[in-house]
Amino acid sequence: MNDPRLNRITIGTESAHIFESDARLHPRWADVQNRWGLLLMTEHRVEDAAAVFRKCLDINPRYAWAATNLVHALGVTGRIDEARKVLEETPPPVPWLRAAAEAFLCLAGEAFGEGLALLDRLDPAVRARMDVRRLEAALARRAGDPAADRLWSELLEVSEVPPSVLGSLLPWTRYGEGGENLLSFVPGLHQLFLAAGRMEARMGKLDEGERMAEVAFACWSERALYLNHLAFVHELRGNDEAAVAMYREASSLAPQDPVPLINLAYYWSAQGEMVQAFEALSSALDRAPRYADLHHQMGLLRRARNEPEDALASFRRALDINPRYAMAHLDLAMTLFSLRSWKEALAAFESVMENGLRSADILLHVGQIHRNLNDRERAEAFFREVVKDRRDNSEARYWLGMVLHDQGRTREARRWWRRFLEENSEPELVGEVERLLIETDAMREDEAA
């Protein structure tokens, strides 16, 4: 699509490649597909993006952000009536955004006065938002309203992001040069830019991470989201005091949103401040008690605080909410294993494998459980499966030797222990294996005598 109104807004090449790969790996994950559709929009593949957003709605018909993104994609391509039908069927995630989406369709469909009238009826606090002001200024300019220049100047004065962001990334700083960038009015693009910004920051590109947050804020001017992302960048910069202050301000600005508190909990946990981490995560759970992942994280934190019984309760609560939460099944199983609750741990590990997780570590734990339950033949089978599939796993050789020794098959056991010592990648077990080899060697000498 070659429309001069669609100036390119881009994210980093590495981030784009990762998002594309994720979309191909997870075709039924609506959030990942939605992000992929947004990426396609920045590449001007707007028709393809619309198809992806429709796919998101097939996966989850109540996915309000995917519907809003579809409305804007259809508007950009001039399919105004179709866009309005989607808007009617699936309302946007916040009430006022419906009027803003309709005003955007007026901008795309050149009904500028009608769009201004829609915005004029919004609550003053909503009209003061930077993203709404940008849309109002664009409509006013296209309507020939002399207030357009004033609106734009005021926007530059109050904007929390640099003028360069509004000028070069969302390029209509000087009127009459290139027209509006319709893509810059797609509020859902903030989802893409925040994800990209976080990824860029993790890759060490902190300035780019901050720039992506500014672009996201220009698209969807929720200050709490903006501060939450900036806090993450400050944390990576080592500006701990600023990061904590921003997380706290973001939390106070969005009293229903658990995310800033979750990030604050992660921060305190990384600092080893478990009491503060626990307080932050507890507050996040108060805000989102039906969020399975929060209960899972609370379980991990309680386990780190050496509170295994409480950790079990948290993992079980996560599974009550989402019975197919594979990682909660795994951490429940690992905690039961640490408590030597062998039968319960075995049932939990079986649930883990039923949910698609089957690693060498899981198989070794299951083998050890069977050995502790005196089911040596099944234990042997699990250890042999790891030895066969993971030839570099020396721990499996150790355990296979142990279960063979349990069965009186000393010669076979000694062979696997020697192979374990050849690898010598589990130093804490080496001393025990050397002792067992000496002990069994002495036994063989006694038998020969």
Query: Would residue 416 count as lying in a domain?
Result: yes
Query: Would residue 155 count as lying in a domain?
Result: yes
15/318 Cα distance (integer angstroms): 31
Query: Would residue 278 count as lying in a domain?
Result: no
Q: What's the Cα-to-Cα distance from 238 to each of 130, 271, 432, rounded to whole Å?
A: 30, 12, 44
CB neighbour class for 193 (10 Å; exposed up to 12, middle 13-18, buried from 19)? buried
Q: Of the candidates 185, 218, 241, which is a domain's last residue?
A: 185
Identity of the amino acid at 121: R
The b-or-e profile of 141-180 (16+ CB within 10 A means b, else e) is: bbbebeebeebbeebeeebebeeebbeebbbbeeeeeebb
pLDDT at 344: 97
CATH of the domain at 438: 1.25.40.10
Q: Of the candidates 144, 160, 185, which is a domain's last residue?
A: 185
pLDDT at 111: 95
Greater confidence, 23 or 446? 23
Query: Would residue 414 count as lying in a domain?
Result: yes
Domain that holds residue 131: 13-185
pLDDT at 9: 57
What share of the chain has pLDDT > 90, as a percent?
A: 72
166: which DSSP letter?
Answer: I
Query: Would residue 308 count as lying in a domain?
Result: no
Q: Of the candidates 156, 185, 214, which is a domain's last residue?
A: 185
Tell me the pLDDT band of 165, cut-offs 50, 70 and 90.
low
Q: Which pTM does this prediction carry? A: 0.76
Query: Would residue 313 count as lying in a domain?
Result: no
Query: Would residue 405 count as lying in a domain?
Result: yes
Over residues 48-105, the pLDDT tens digits come to 999 999 999 999 999 999 999 999 999 999 999 999 999 999 999 999 999 999 999 9
pLDDT at 226 over 60: yes
pLDDT at 157: 80
User: Nearest Cα to 377, choosing from 406, 356, 344, 345?
Assistant: 406
Query: Would residue 2 count as lying in a domain?
Result: no
Contact predicate 226/204, CB 8 Å: no
Tally of domains in the chain: 2
Which positions ≥6 away from 180 have C-beta within 8 Å? Answer: 5, 107, 138, 141, 142, 172
